[in-house]
Each structure stands twice: as C-alpha cells, then as structure tokens.
C-alpha cells in the first residue's frame, strides 16, 4: 500500500474509486438525489482539476488505485476507498498522510463528513463542531457533520 501524489495517469482510476464508492455505499445512508449530487460533484473533470492542483493523492495497491485523498490548505475535502478495500486500514493510511501534510503548516485539520464516514473520523479523534444541510433539489437535503481535529498543540 503506497500513497502518492496523484498524476494525470491516475485520473481514471481515481474517478472509478469515487464513483464506485458513492454508488455502492451512499445509497445505504442517503436518498438517490444525494447520491446523484455526489456523483456529479466528483465528475471526471473535477477529479482532473484536483489532480492538476496538486491537492489529490492516490492510494495504490499492486499499482492499482484503490483509494483517494484530497486536502486544500487544512481542509480535508475527500477520502474515498473502494468498498472491497474498506476495513483494511486504507482510509486510515490516507488520513495519516493528509494529516501529516496539514500538520506542517496548521494546528488543526477540518472536514465535512458524510454520514458513512463520521464514525471513522470520530475513531481518529475528530470532533463534531457543527452540522450542515444542503438542498440538492426536489426538497431533498444532504446532511453532513463539520468536524475538526487538533494535530499539534
């Protein structure tokens, strides 16, 4: 397992990880409109922009992209792991790398946690600092947690 800065060669693999994870996991927590919102948000074009910004990383297992992480400044903007690789420490490894990078310049890491990820973040020491609600259309609301973790004193 190796976490590397994402390159343009990783774009299709990262897009696959994000779309597969959203389509597999999110329907257990959110209505179809929210699932569609996340899939549209994480379009191939958006993935490529993130790679080009230098903010995305790819988690590789045997040379294949199985996870992705992204941070902008001290805000962790995404962590996704293919469902068949979840529960094996992949998400924790991505977070370790992101937190290490953030801690070089910031005291805290912040993130907006989807419902499927809240327990992982709590387990890692993140505390809920607020709740967010986003109207995705048709009267459907996306509910998420705003969380923060102290990285250094």
Distance from chain centroid for Cα 59: 12
Percent of the chain with pLDDT over 90: 95
pLDDT digits (tens, 9 = 90+) for 74-106: 999 999 999 999 999 999 999 999 999 999 999
CB within 8 Å of 130: residues ≥ 6 apart: 145, 146
CB within 8 Å of 67: residues ≥ 6 apart: 3, 17, 58, 59, 79, 80, 81, 82, 85, 90, 91, 93, 94
pLDDT digits (tens, 9 = 90+) for 106-138: 999 999 999 889 999 999 999 999 999 999 998
Residue 153 has pLDDT above 80, yes or no: no
Residue 22 has pLDDT above 90, yes or no: yes
CB within 8 Å of 54: residues ≥ 6 apart: 5
């Amino acid at each position: 397992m190796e976490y590397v800065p994402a390159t343009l060669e990783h774009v299709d693999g990262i897009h696959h990880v994000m779309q597969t994870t959203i389509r597999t996991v999110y329907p257990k927590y959110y209505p179809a409109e929210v699932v569609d919102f996340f899939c549209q948000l994480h379009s191939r074009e958006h993935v490529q922009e993130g790679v080009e910004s230098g903010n995305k990383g790819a988690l590789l297992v045997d040379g294949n992209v199985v996870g992705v992480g992204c941070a902008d400044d001290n805000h962790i903007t995404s962590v996704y792991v293919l469902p068949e690789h979840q529960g094996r420490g992949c998400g924790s490894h991505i977070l370790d790398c992101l937190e290490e990078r953030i801690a070089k310049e910031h005291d805290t890491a912040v993130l907006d946690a989807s419902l499927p990820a809240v327990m992982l973040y709590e387990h890692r020491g993140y505390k809920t600092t607020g709740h967010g609600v986003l109207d995705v259309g048709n009267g459907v609301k996306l509910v998420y947690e705003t969380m923060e973790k102290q990285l250094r004193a």
